[in-house]
Structure 1
Amino acid sequence: MNTSSPRAPAPTFDTGHFRQALGQFATGVTVITTRLADGSFRGLTASSFNSVSLTPPLVLWSLGTNANSMPIFSGNSHYVINVLAADQAHLAKLFSTRGDYPWDTVPYELSRTGQPILTGACAWFECHNRSRYPEGDHVIFVGEVEHCEFIPRPPLIFHGGQFHSLA
């Protein structure tokens, strides 16, 4: 089955306008975490998270092709998608910056496969790095969920360039 379509005409707007329009869609906020072969941890903030399938349990998120962490996440077999709670905006900000993070200041526990799970997240999904699809200037990661948990708490929301809460 052919799933490709003819190319769309060139857009009539610039990337700044497109980004502002996208900012009108409220999203949850996640931190994707993983463990490197040397035992160190890495993480990044992402709002591009969505469910794909219940059977098998699949989720997706995306990462810019030029991101410094692209080799880490495309090369590791597992990662955890941590859905941040309303009181965790500081973690979203911390993991949205480049560089090494002070993991000694971040409360976490280890998953079954040794991946960091952020303490207090309202949900988390431990995923096998099933597949990746390059599209535009991003790569779409599809994770097969091996384990998940949740704590009913208000989530952290991102809208219009700012963090919000449902509480």
Structure 2
Amino acid sequence: MDQAYDDSLTERYRELSDDIAAAVAVVSATRGSALHAITVDSFLDVSYDPPTMAVSVYSGSRMMETLETSSHFAISLLNSDQRDISERLGASGQPLYGSLKGIDTFPAPHAGQPVLTEAIAWFELKLTEVLEVATHNLVVGEVVSMGAGADAGTSRPLLRWRKGYGTIGKR
């Protein structure tokens, strides 16, 4: 395949995939005694029975290194007031240790994975499979505990669209 065509296809894909509106979440896990987290918008519910989710994580990232050593992880769905958290945890080169410093969290009940207190919803997952796909890994987990934030009924989700942030109307 011609390299110019390859680059053109990649750039066009990036442009058009930015038109996919996506909820924003934080994936978190413990690494030793440290809490580690990143912002993601590539995650999905895979199955209801058993409850299963998947998240796409860059294979060369420190977060992927953390997930490779963890048996569990958490996904916290951000509300529209948590844009600052999304930007902070989404910055490249963020430090491995202290990434959740100053962000209110609590340990999820099953394996103690860090969950964001103000999240609309959260899921603690047992890692069941890691699939290598291009430059990323699809990390699959079975939900072992879950919950909703105190304001889940009135909060609106943080969404990413065209490299910007937004939300939708109230429920």
Alpha-carbon shift at residue 13 of structure 1 (Å): 3.5
Gaps of 5+ in 2: none
| Aligned pairs (5 A) from 1:47-126 | 47-97=41-91, 98-100=93-95, 101-112=98-109, 113-126=111-124
Normalising by the residue count of structure 1, what TM-score does the alignment of the two structures yield? 0.88
Give CA deviations for 1:86-138 in whole Å, capped at 9, x if unaligned: 10011111111222245331111111122111011001000001101001111
The residue identity in structure 2 corresponding to 1:46 is V
Give the alignment's Cα RMSD to 1 decimal. Answer: 1.6
Bigger drift between 96-105 and 127-136 goes to 96-105
| Aligned pairs (5 A) from 1:1-167 | 13-37=8-32, 39-97=33-91, 98-100=93-95, 101-112=98-109, 113-150=111-148, 151-152=152-153, 153-167=155-169
- Give the 3-state SS of the residue equivalent to 1:86 in structure 2: coil
Change (3 A) 1:11 1:75: same
The residue identity in structure 1 corresponding to 2:87 is K
Give CA deviations for 1:58-110 in whole Å, capped at 9, x if unaligned: 00111111223221112211111000001001111111122224533111111
Distance between the aligned counterparts of 1:133 and 1:102, measured in 2? 26
The residue identity in structure 1 corresponding to 2:18 is G
Identity, % of aligned positions: 24
Normalising by the residue count of structure 2, what TM-score does the alignment of the two structures yield? 0.86
The residue identity in structure 1 corresponding to 2:133 is E
- Give the 3-state SS of the residue equivalent to 1:21 in structure 2: helix
Give CA deviations for 1:17-42 in whole Å, capped at 9, x if unaligned: 211110001000010011112x1100
- Give the 3-state SS of the residue equivalent to 1:166 in structure 2: coil
- Give the 3-state SS of the residue equivalent to 1:20 in structure 2: helix
Contact 2:37 2:99 in 1 (8 A): no
Distance between the aligned counterparts of 1:130 and 1:66, measured in 2? 20
The residue identity in structure 2 corresponding to 1:103 is L
The residue identity in structure 1 corresponding to 2:159 is I
Distance between the aligned counterparts of 2:37 and 2:165, measured in 1? 19
The residue identity in structure 2 corresponding to 1:110 is P
The residue identity in structure 1 corresponding to 2:125 is C
Gaps of 5+ in 1: 1-9
Contact 2:36 2:99 in 1 (8 A): no
